[in-house]
Amino acid sequence: MKFPNDFKFGVSTSSYQIEGNGFEDGRGISIWDTFAATPGKVADMENGDVACDHYNRYPQDIELIKELGVDTYRFSLAWPRLFPNGGSKREQRGFDFYDRLIDELLAKGIEPLATLYHWDMPQTLEDRGGWADRSIVSQFTDFAIAATEAFADRVTNWVTINEPWCVTWLGYGSGVHAPGRQDVDAAIAAAHHTAMAHGAATRAMKQIAPHVRTGLALNMTTYRVEDESDRDLMDLKTLMDGELNRWWLDASMYGRYPTETAAAYGASLENVVHDGDMDVVHSPLDFLGVNYYSDSFIGLPRPEDKPAMFGGAFPFPQRSNGTAPEPHTDMGWPITPRGLYDLLMRIKKDWPEVTDIAITENGAAFPEGPGSDGTVDDQRRVDYLASHLQSVADAAADGAPISAYFAWSLMDNFEWAEGYRKRFGIVHVDYETQKRTIKNSGYAYRDLIAEHKASCNTLVESLA
């Protein structure tokens, strides 16, 4: 496995999933606090009130990050920790926490990458309409400005919004994520407003700190069609690809939405796009964050998925009976590492203006915990990471402009609607004692990074 000499390896987390300390030091209520408290929304009625207690244990966790040998750490800022009610009244104790976190990372030689929005909107903003309401664009921009003023002297790389497709379609379409709405019109409005928010925030951030680099973290996939001779299936692939892979990328890079998908949204989209909006949306990325977990397989829609247009939670069936290969992870997702290579090469071909790609999330859920000897033998995760890293290396060798890879996740954490049932970490967390244990996958990742750095040092010495 060979990577570019300046390639960076990292780990990722998000605020609500690890921080805990939910109602102390002035933090406001987020949409995930409300959602988790609603019966039937989260497995076992679990929540992020304590999570991994990272708010109090961050020095220990940064030591773990240092031990893994990574170059960079991606985390998110909790909006309600900084602005409890989403308005202009700030909570200084929240800003102080991220000051301490960032300073500690830098002291350990770890580069911070901050995500502004990883799904924990202040509940007060959702009460006013959330991402479905146009006012959220200015609210988010104000939040981005405050974060830039506070932290851009030490943080250069920023993700504005993590997985806006999930924000849009899981939060407002199917309702399986917070805020739990099931309204196609609201979801389409959110699809537009998230694109606008990225553009508006990016412009505002660069006016304050021209040196910052901004990007989006998009959950992307390679679609596989069961029968490519079936015109209906190929048309469905085009619509779904436009909704997931192309919507925010085309919007940012070119100032337009995918033609077929926008046409399918029809008046629901036309009603929320105002004159001048697409100029705001058009804000080319300094880097593209790709969150990849598996390919997606399209077959004939099942009866419960019909009609294809606007008949249910999604405008197109997101579930289909396309046959996915075995094996699957604990999430039920197929393991398809070659799909990551194909996706990266597609980005290189279809969006040549994207000159920097970071794999901002990649990982797998498996349940293994400490054995009798105290070690965590998670060989399936070792194999998953190795095969996907090989695809990244292959794509880099074939000219894809990839600069970084972030394993998801640093540690086991609150996995949204799955509660604590699913474990993605390369570090095991005992939620009762908060004991951290590096899994074999973490050690394997550490060794790969060390080998890469050693080969780079050897090259430098040979050139000296």
Cite the active site residues: 163, 361
The pair of structure tokens assigned to 173 is 């379409």
The pair of structure tokens assigned to 370 is 């400490």
Write the burial class of residue 419 (CB in 10 Å: 0-12 exposed, 13-18 middle, 19+ buried): middle
Encode 101-115: b = buried (16+ Cβ within 10 Å), e = exposed. bbebbeeeebbbbbb
Distance between alpha carbon 255 and the CA centroid of its chain, in Å? 22
Measure the CA angle with vertex 185, ends 182 and 188; round to 5°.
100
- Which residue is associated with the tokens 């998670």? 378
The pair of structure tokens assigned to 360 is 């901002």
CB 262 within 8 A of CB 281: no
CB 354 within 8 A of CB 401: yes
Residue 179: cis peptide before it, omega within 30 degrees of 0: yes
The pair of structure tokens assigned to 295 is 């390919």
Beta pairing class for 357-361 and 8-12:
unpaired
**Helix ranges (DSSP H) in 108-183:** 123-127, 136-151, 164-165
Sequence-ordered list of residues with C-beta below 8 angstroms from that of 1, at least 6 positions apart, any chain: 386, 389, 390, 393, 448
CB 422 within 8 A of CB 330: yes
The pair of structure tokens assigned to 204 is 């505002």
Cα torsion angle, 113, 119, 121, 123, sign: negative
Q: How far apart are CA 60 and CA 77, in angstroms?
A: 19
- Largest CA-CA distance found in the chain, in angstroms, rounded: 67
CB 411 within 8 A of CB 61: yes
Q: How far apart are CA 293 and CA 364, in angstroms?
A: 7
Beta pairing class for 111-117 and 223-225:
unpaired
Strand partners, 216: 288
